[in-house]
Amino acid sequence: MTDLLCPKCGATSNKKDFIESFCVDCYPANIKCPTKLKIEQCKRCEKIRVAGQWTKYSDAALSSFVMGKCKGPHSEGSYDRETGLAEFRIEREGNIAVIRKNIILEIVPVICLQCSRISGGYFQGIIQLRGSRKKVEEWTGMLYKKLKKKTFIAKEEEKHGGLDIYVGNSKAVVEILSELRVKATITTKLAGVEQGKRYYRTTFLIRL
């Protein structure tokens, strides 16, 4: 079989793998990427904003954000913030070509909505735990673990016969109480208007 000759660099197929008529290094992949991107990162919790959602910072999340801005025939892709290089793997006829592109990523420091609300003392719900000190302490520890996965805890106040926990999202409390199959006395009242919409504060009284 006659060796293939790369029309771009002159390499032959007995020295390099080929994809179609080109060697893997010269394969003309039509991958379109911006040369510069911006991403918002909260100055307090360090979460980044990806597709309109605040997510915990990680190399994988950052890479996913960059890859989402690129288009082309690649099967896999990744971004290295340290080097500013995006790598794209293209597979054809059992051979793999790695295409690299430089992308400048600018981190824009902001304060996310949740951190803004925390600093402003915002809350939507109050969990009122009432019972013996031992039971209140047990439930407080359990609820804290679950609440932190779904929302934020604004503050807590010791009350006669128990504890009040102020939380950022009432729906999160409803979900957690449903998971735990806990019955609570629920009361709701109008708290104000935010971005043209009414918002309410809900109290969940739990007797232990």
Taking the alpha carbons of 131, 136, 139, 144 in that order, is the dihedral positive or negative?
positive
| pLDDT, tens digit, 9 for 90 and up, residues 32-41 | 889 999 999 9
State how beta strands 53-55 and 48-50 pair. Answer: antiparallel
Q: Give pLDDT tens digits along the chain (208 positions).
A: 578 888 888 888 888 878 778 887 787 777 888 999 999 999 999 999 988 889 999 988 899 899 888 887 776 788 998 899 998 888 776 777 778 889 999 999 999 988 988 888 889 999 999 999 999 999 999 999 999 889 999 999 999 889 999 999 999 999 999 999 989 999 998 877 777 778 789 999 999 8
Whole-model pTM over 0.75? no
| pLDDT, tens digit, 9 for 90 and up, residues 112-145 | 988 988 888 889 999 999 999 999 999 999 999 9
Q: Cα angle vertex 179, ends 178, 185, to 5°?
A: 30
Residue among 131, 184, 127 nearest 150 (CA): 127
Domain residue ranges of the chain, discontinuous segments joined by +: 18-110, 121-207
d(CA 24, CA 16): 7
d(CA 85, CA 52): 24
